[in-house]
Amino acid sequence: AWGFFHEEIGVENMRDMNELLEELQDKIGYRFQNTDLLKQALTHSSFANEQKINKLKDYERLEFLGDAVLELVSSEFLFRENPQMPEGQLTKLRASMVCEPALAYCAKDIDLGSYILLGRGEEYTGGRYRSSITSDVMEAIIGAIFLDGGIENAKKHIYRFILSDLENKILFLDSKTILQEEIQKKKDAQLRYELIGESGPDHNKQFTVDAYLNDVLIGSGTGRTKKAAEQQAAYEALLKMKGKYRKQS
């Protein structure tokens, strides 16, 4: 979506850029007083290095700040929500909530990858949807909101996009482990994953995996790695077991 940045930015392209920034602000429900902070939060170092004339700043410093804000807000949330939970368990729970896969999962909810500014190399190798990048940008946006609107606005953003629907998010992130534990409760039950297809170029593969309980298909998933596809298949199986699964059209 940001390909126009690879060339000299004209009036029409600036309009396109502003429209995309408006769209993202609508999605996250926060209007920036200083949109340069949002642009910086979306700028990967590979893109900033290509735009030497513009001297663009990348998101790394904002990510550093956002990580600290996220840790503070999530710590307070867990402390208040779990008054009897010991320190060690709180630490473990916080780590699972703000780890790279968890933040990438949250980023996917708002299709954040579509808005990131990437250099040609990163674009070619599928960086737009790489978990390590989208999770960093999630933290950078938190840092940008904190600088632009203060801790309360950053807190609202974190509550809405990271600390909401925690039960379902934790179920997804630990789906393979949880499914294995559920299967082990059943006598003579065997869980296996079967790779049924792969597509796309080597730098941007898409894998499809089926999960079987003995010989019964219980879940299917797709992902950019076999592990991610297996996780999605396990998640679908768990939702079916809990009666929460609804086939997407």
Spatial distance between the Cα atoms of 176 and 171, rounded to a whole number of angstroms: 9
Inter-CA distances, 220 with 108, 118, 185, 197, Å: 19, 31, 22, 11
Instruction: Report pLDDT digits (tens) over 13-47.
Output: 444 778 889 999 999 999 999 999 999 999 998 88
Is-catalytic flag, 26?
no
Is-catalytic flag, 139?
yes
| Average confidence score pLDDT of the chain | 85
Q: Catalytic residue among 123, 139, 148, 236, which?
A: 139
Total-model pTM: 0.74
Point out the catalytic residue in the list 67, 136, 148, 230: 67
Task: Find residue 223's DSSP bridge partners.
Answer: 207
pLDDT in tens, 57-98: 899 999 999 999 999 999 999 999 999 999 998 998 888 888
Checking if the pLDDT of 232 tops 70, the result is yes
